[in-house]
Every structure is written in structure tokens, then in C-alpha cells.
Amino acid sequence: MKVKTSPIICKVEEVRFLTPHICSLSFQTEKPFEFQGGQYINILIPDGSVEKAFSRNYSIATPPEKRPLELCFELVGTGTSYLNRLKPGDTFKIRGPYGEFVFDSNPNRHFCYVGTGSGIGPFRSIAFSSVFQNTHPISVTCILGVENEEEIPYRDELEKFALEKPTHHFIPVLSRPKSKDWKGKQG
């Protein structure tokens, strides 16, 4: 059950494009904010008046130890246009954290994550967390579906992660590669 916590005020540090359609929003919280890798927050989106405000959920894309916090979102509609218009220093309100999609730190497991586009957030939050680094699973595989090469968010970082250990695998799968030279997975 989602408990309605009191809103936390956040201050924007940066909004930037990670790919042509995916943005990141980094921000600080006004008061200490604890969460587990893989959890999400609920952002309150003003819509002219308090009564009309609505909300959207976003996974935290940074590990629990890191600040500023970061979200990764695909520009699709009203909520994400609002996030994309935020400027450094602007404030917004969140509730949370929420969600039970968190890392099971049993080291005798294979860890496989499947997502698309901005869905990389929870993987990034988990895979770079200290609990994950300290209780490493037998193998780690991240399969990420995107349209083309340009739409792979955090590509350098994820490729570097995969090179760190022979048990780490990052497998981007493109539905419409731009280049004929794409040698990776397609589907």
C-alpha cells in the first residue's frame, strides 16, 4: 500500500538531454531523504491551481549514497514537459520513496534486469549502490531496449560497467538501428 507521506521540497540543479528523447533531472532535497536502490518518487505537478495539481511517478536513477539525486525520463506528455521546463534553482515537491522493487542482496544469485529507454533508472540506482557492490551476485545482466544507437541513455557508463568484470553484461537491443554497422542485438 502506498502511504501518503508529507511532501518534500526539492531544488533543481540541472535538466539535460541524455539522448534526443530522454532527459535527466538532478536535484537536492530540502531535508535528508533516504531510499533503497530501485525505489521511486511521486512528483507533484502544478496545473494552474492547487486543486488541479496532479502527480507522476519516477524511479530514482542514482544510488542511495549519491547526491544530487537524479531522475531519467522520456519526454512524452504533460508531466514530463513540466519536468523538462524546470530551471536550476526552481523548486518542486515530491512524496516517497515508494516501491518494493529493491535489490535482494543474496550473493548466490544471477541478477538480470530488462527494461526500455528511461527504464534504465532503477538498474542504475541498484547497480551503483554500495549494497550491490558489496554483495555481488554471481552475474549481472542488463538488457535495454531502445529505438536506435542515439537513444541509449548513460551508454558510456553502462559499457564501462560491463567491462569492469567478466560477469557483467550490458546488452542494448535496438528496434531500428541507424547505422548498418550496428553489430549488437536487434529486435
Ligand X SMILES: Cc1cc2nc3c(=O)[nH]c(=O)nc-3n(C[C@H](O)[C@H](O)[C@H](O)COP(=O)(O)OP(=O)(O)OC[C@H]3O[C@@H](n4cnc5c(N)ncnc54)[C@H](O)[C@@H]3O)c2cc1C
Interface residue list for ligand X (CB under 6 A): 40, 56-59, 71-74, 76-80, 118, 121
Q: How far apart are CA 45 and CA 52, in angstroms?
A: 9
Residue closer to ligand X, measured from CB, 99 or 182: 99
Query: Which residue's Cβ lies closest to ligand X?
Result: 77
Task: Give me the least distance between CB of 99 and ligand X, in Å please.
Answer: 6
Distances from the Cα of 79 to the Cα of 20, 55, 57, 82, angstroms? 18, 8, 10, 5
How do beta strands 69-74 and 22-29 pair? antiparallel
How do beta strands 40-47 and 91-98 pair? antiparallel
Residue closer to ligand X, measured from CB, 33 or 182: 33
Residue closer to ligand X, measured from CB, 93 or 136: 93
Task: Give me the least distance between CB of 73 and ligand X, in Å please.
Answer: 4
User: What count of other Cβ atoms lies within 10 Å of the Cβ of residue 40?
Assistant: 20
Task: Give me the least distance between CB of 183 and ligand X, in Å please.
Answer: 28
